[in-house]
Chains A and B, each alone.
Chain A
Amino acid sequence: MTRSDVQLMLDVKAGDEASFDLLLKKYRTPLVNFLYRMVRDSATAEDLAQEVFLRVYRARKHYSPSAKFTTWMFRIATNLALNSVRDNRYRRMQVSLDVPVEEDETPIQVPARDVRIDEHMLERDRAEFIHRAIAALPEKQRVAVLLHKYEEMDYGEIARILECSESALKSLLFRAYETLRVQLAPLVVGSMVHRAVEGRAP
Chain B
Amino acid sequence: MKCDEVSRELIAFLDRRANSAERAVMEAHLKGCVACRARAEDFRKLWGLLDEVPVHEPSFGFDARLRQRIAREPRPRWFTWLVPQPRLAFSVALLVALSIWMSRPPQNRPTTFANAPSEEEQFQMIDHLGVLENFDLLSKSDVLSELPARTPQQQAPQEDDAQRKGDGG
Contacts and interface: CB of A to CB of B under 8 A. Distances in A.
Do A and B assemble together? yes
Contact of B11 (A29, A49, A177): A177
Nearest to A187: B49
Contacts, number: 92
Contact of B45 (A36, A155, A171, A192): A192
Interface residues of B, number: 33
A149 B47 contact: yes
B43 A177 contact: yes
A53 B65 CA distance: 11
A32 B62 contact: yes
Contacts of A76: none
A160 interface: no
A26 interface: no
Interface in A57-105: 57-58, 61
Secondary structure call for the B interface: helix
B45 A191 contact: yes
Contact of B9 (A28, A61, A150, A170): A170
Contacts of A170: 8-9, 11-12
A195 B73 CA distance: 51
A17 B32 CA distance: 58
B74 to A, nearest CB: 10
Interface in B43-93: 43, 45-50, 52-59, 62-63, 65-66, 69-70, 73, 76
30 contacts: A24-B63, A32-B56, A33-B56, A37-B56, A42-B56, A42-B59, A45-B56, A46-B59, A50-B62, A50-B66, A50-B69, A54-B70, A57-B70, A58-B73, A61-B76, A126-B52, A127-B52, A154-B17, A167-B8, A170-B9, A170-B11, A171-B8, A178-B7, A180-B46, A181-B42, A184-B46, A188-B42, A191-B45, A191-B49, A191-B52
